[in-house]
Amino acid sequence: MKITASGIILILLFTSTLSSLHSSQSLGSESLTMVEKAVNFLVNNQFNRSLGLCREAPSVANTYWLVSDNLWAWEALKVANECGLSNAAEAAAAADMIKARLIELAVQYGLPRDAEGLPISYAHEAVLGNIALPPYRTGTNSVMYKDDYVLNTTMLNGTVMSDWAQYADLLLYVRFHITGKEMIRTRLATTVTLRKCGMRPA
């Protein structure tokens, strides 16, 4: 799994939940600072404004993935904006550009799309709250453009996987249906609000 949005989305959505495990530590802005640094990493280091997309990784500057990197980057930045972080305005601007570009490219290359027109893989969109339940299929990585930069996406549209439950990422997508993305989002927003008021989240 690549280190761009694949990891950042989990930081943004789960930071407050994980912080409750360290309730014995003194209250500070450590977790919030980590989230803001994650947002800054996406916006200032990974985001290419001329393409409207986030790069695969700092060491792979000319490769871009629609799914999962940019689909998840859009969601991560959108959540950051909704939670009112200090860099919310930058997050919102980048999120809007990424979403518009994702929709445009999904149409251009005839990719499977959700109700909003965003590209899907039949798995990764579970993080956004979309239905993507098992059994899952083997993945196919598609190169849609390769010249001055490389544009990829992935789709789980191969043969049915009998052993899908042995893969941690696929189990995570199922877990999102059990716990509910909105519960996680609400927990993060509540924690950010409490910390701004100088209180410790429960």
The DSSP line for 8-38 is HHHHHHHHHHHHGGGTTSPP-SHHHHHHHHH
Q: What is the pLDDT of residue 15?
A: 43
- What element of type H or E holds 143? strand 140-146
Both tokens of 152, joined, read 């990829």
Residues 102, 118 contacting (CB under 8 angstroms): yes
What's the pTM?
Answer: 0.75
Q: What is the mean pLDDT of each run of 10 residues along the chain (202 residues)?
A: 45 40 37 73 92 92 93 87 82 96 97 94 86 89 95 94 89 74 56 48 44
Q: What is the pLDDT of residue 126?
A: 84
Q: What is the pLDDT of residue 119?
A: 96
Q: What is the pLDDT of residue 41?
A: 87
Q: What is the pLDDT of residue 170?
A: 87
